[in-house]
Amino acid sequence: MTHPVSSPPPPVALCDYEHLAEQRLSPNARAYLEGAAADEITLTENRAAFDRLRLSSAVLRDMSEASTRTHLLGLELDHPILLAPVAYHKLAHPDGELATVHGAGAARAAMVVSTQASVALEDIARAAKSPLWFQLYIQPDRGFTAELVARAKAAGYSALVVTVDAPASLRNREQRAGFRLPHGVEAVNLKGMASPNVAAGAIGESPLFSGFLAGIATWADIEWLRGICDLPIILKGVLSPTDAHKAVAEGVRGLVVSNHGGRVLDTLPATIEALPRIADTVEGQVPILLDGGIRRGTDILKALALGASAVMVGRPYMHALAVAGAAGVAHAIHLLRAELEVAMAITGRAQLEEIDDTVLWRP
């Protein structure tokens, strides 16, 4: 007697998508998407720091008008969960960012599109049903950068998310795997840009300081961006209160507390640990977003409690994209939203603005 082969149960949490994605992604793609800097201590801490925080419940609260709706830089959002910028979605799915943006629309989630997207930013915008922001790496060719910004504005992106924390990195997992972009996957929005000709330093010479960093962005470039474009500028990669203070003084409209998913410099603090200092410095002058380590709705509640206005998720929706395309992306965000609503109900917070640090257990 033969027994039918049972299919795996459907994903009920983001960790299920992560396990399933291990079977779908090539070793090359896994090295890129999962890897982080050096020994990956910061990558691990992003998650572990959330787990160390405990929540305090509250009973018999009126939840009849409960909602996760929020306002963020002119956007009215159904929930405070955004899709973080991640490069090369075609590593996970043949439709790349087009599948992702369809999933974001179904989940009513705003999406931040990477400069290094594997689909043209205009094509992504035409497929969008929910708000889009454009993540910008300021290129050594400032003229090309200006053209990129103009393209994003013309396509309908409503803010620039300028990544400022990644002038260089060394990701050993990628190096050991010999990561290379496969045929048909490239940063299509950077086509036509002349790349600087900087040779890597030989043994005994400077590996980085011999010219590689000559074109990196500075505070003067933020002022320049404000001069060429009227879109709100959000700085992504802020961990220092000093930098946060200067950003606000320079007219930046928002901050993302981020360590680039642990991919830039190892042993930086977990983002949830850095968040309170940034929030204390900013004092509500601009909204703060957080990424890094979000895997549960309780993580979102903790981030909001410590001063974030919203959160961004990256690797989790890429896992879901690899497993089930657009439907997977939508489902992953839906799972997070459901978990956030449960956390709000059990802690007695009917509205996002009611969430503060009193929701955290203080032994």
Q: CB count, 10 Å around CB of 176?
A: 10
257 - beta bridge partners? 290
Angle at 40 between CA 324 and CA 15, to 5 degrees: 30
CB 79 within 8 A of CB 109: yes
Q: How far apart (Å, rounded) are the C-alpha atoms in residues 180 and 197?
A: 20
Per the document, the length of the chain is 363
User: Does an H or E element contain 339, and which?
Assistant: helix 315-347
Which of 260, 319, 331, 334 does the annotation list as catalytic?
A: 260
Q: How far apart (Å, rounded) are the C-alpha atoms in residues 65 and 53?
A: 27
Q: How far apart (Å, rounded) are the C-alpha atoms in residues 256 and 271?
A: 10
107: nearest Cα among 259, 286, 353, 316: 316
Residue 301 identity: L
CB 81 within 8 A of CB 352: no
Instruction: Reduce the DSSP state of residue 312 to 3 states and report it.
Output: strand
260 is catalytic: yes
Residue 244 identity: A
Which letter, b or e, does each residue of 268-291 get, where b requires 16 or more Cβ atoms within 10 Å of its Cβ? bbbbbbbbebbbebbeeebbbbbb
Angle at 335 between CA 329 and CA 341, to 5 degrees: 140
Instruction: Reduce the DSSP state of residue 48 to 3 states and report it.
Output: helix
160 - beta bridge partners? 134, 233
| Catalytic residue positions, numbered | 260
